[in-house]
């Protein structure tokens, strides 16, 4: 049983983003910088850990991506080394997630399983979504078969269902309907977001009604101002820009983490 199987209705997960510079095996990687990328990732994860966050999501930011569920071998090895270093630098209860963009879910599962991570985030698990890099067409049967083949069923899958990474393409389908489809396909939790707070709250409510016991993670657009209101209804959040001292892609600031966590913990009382 993976860590997403029995959600705690009161505890809200704060999962900080660890954004990586382009990795080896990608066209915008700067040679001889891998050690720097790894050290920065560990420092950011450690700031999240020390600041009281529940975990992190290590996400590739390689600028251009294949839309297929595939990853260059050098890139996958690099991600594995980073994920293992983050696991070793943080405590056992700290949830370490892996997301190899755009949608290399099988490679993400392999990294999480071998490196000791806890979950992966799938930019798309069901349906299809049009992105700047082309149409992403996931294969949930292939993903779930692969997870079983490497004995990674302990590794949770958080599936985007309506966010900056995923919008259902081809026919009308509500966020709640996509959530139900993702759950049927094997998602352990879903992630969603919207820049408008009222719209986000409506999305959360609709999914909660359709799939009552499915954990809902906010996939962006939270900050120190709105976290308390949004996390009163959701089960957790992926948190990036507002925790980074120089804005998106900057180093994680432990003081910003502590402030955010304090706001969320007030919601739990």
Per domain, the residue ranges of the chain are: 13-268
Average confidence (pLDDT) over 76-89: 98
Lowest mean pLDDT among 88-92, 98-102, 155-159, 180-184: 88-92
> For the whole model, what pTM was predicted?
0.96
Average confidence (pLDDT) over 90-100: 95
CA distance 266 to 268: 5
DSSP state for residue 4 in the 8-state scheme: T
CA distance 168 to 176: 11
How high is the pLDDT of residue 245?
82
CATH-assigned architecture of domain 13-268? Alpha-Beta Barrel (3.20)
H helix and E strand count, the chain? 8, 10
CB atoms within 10 A of CB 189: 25
Please say whether the beta carbons of 242 and 34 come within 8 A. Answer: no
Length of the chain: 269
How high is the pLDDT of residue 268?
85
Q: What share of the chain in percent tops pLDDT 90?
A: 90
Residue range 41-56, pLDDT digits in tens: 999 999 999 999 999 9
113 Cβ contact partners less than 8 Å away, ≥ 6 residues apart: 150, 151, 152, 155
N-term to C-term CA, the chain: 28
Mean pLDDT over each residue of the chain, to the nearest integer: 94
Residue 56 φ then ψ, to 5°: -145, 165
Residue range 200-259, pLDDT digits in tens: 999 999 999 999 999 999 999 999 999 999 999 999 999 999 999 876 667 899 999 999
Residue range 96-106, pLDDT digits in tens: 999 999 999 99
Residue range 2-15, pLDDT digits in tens: 666 545 557 999 99
């Amino acid at each position: 049983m993976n860590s997403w199987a029995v959600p705690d209705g009161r505890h809200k997960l704060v999962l900080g983003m660890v954004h990586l510079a382009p990795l080896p095996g990608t066209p915008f990687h700067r040679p001889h910088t891998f050690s720097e990328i790894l050290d920065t990732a560990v420092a950011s994860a450690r700031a999240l850990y020390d600041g009281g966050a529940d975990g992190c999501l290590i996400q590739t930011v390689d600028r251009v991506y294949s839309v297929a569920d595939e990853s260059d071998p050098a890139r996958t090895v690099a991600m594995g080394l980073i994920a293992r270093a983050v696991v070793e630098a943080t405590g056992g209860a700290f949830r370490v997630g892996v997301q190899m963009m755009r949608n290399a879910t099988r490679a993400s599962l392999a990294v999480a399983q071998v490196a000791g991570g806890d979950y992966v985030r799938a930019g798309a698990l069901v349906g299809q979504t049009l992105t700047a890099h082309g149409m992403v067409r996931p294969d949930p049967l292939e993903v779930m078969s692969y997870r079983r083949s490497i004995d990674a069923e302990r590794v949770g899958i958080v599936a985007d269902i309506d966010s900056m990474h995923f919008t259902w393409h081809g026919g009308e389908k509500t966020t709640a309907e996509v959530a139900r489809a993702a759950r049927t396909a094997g998602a352990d939790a879903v992630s969603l977001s919207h820049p408008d707070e009222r719209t986000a709250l409506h999305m959360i409510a609709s999914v909660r009604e359709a799939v009552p016991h499915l954990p809902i993670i906010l996939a962006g657009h939270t900050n120190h101002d709105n976290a308390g209101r949004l996390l009163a209804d959701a089960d957790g959040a992926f948190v990036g820009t507002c925790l980074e001292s120089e804005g998106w892609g900057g180093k994680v600031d432990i003081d910003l983490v502590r402030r955010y966590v304090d706001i969320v913990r007030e919601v739990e009382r």
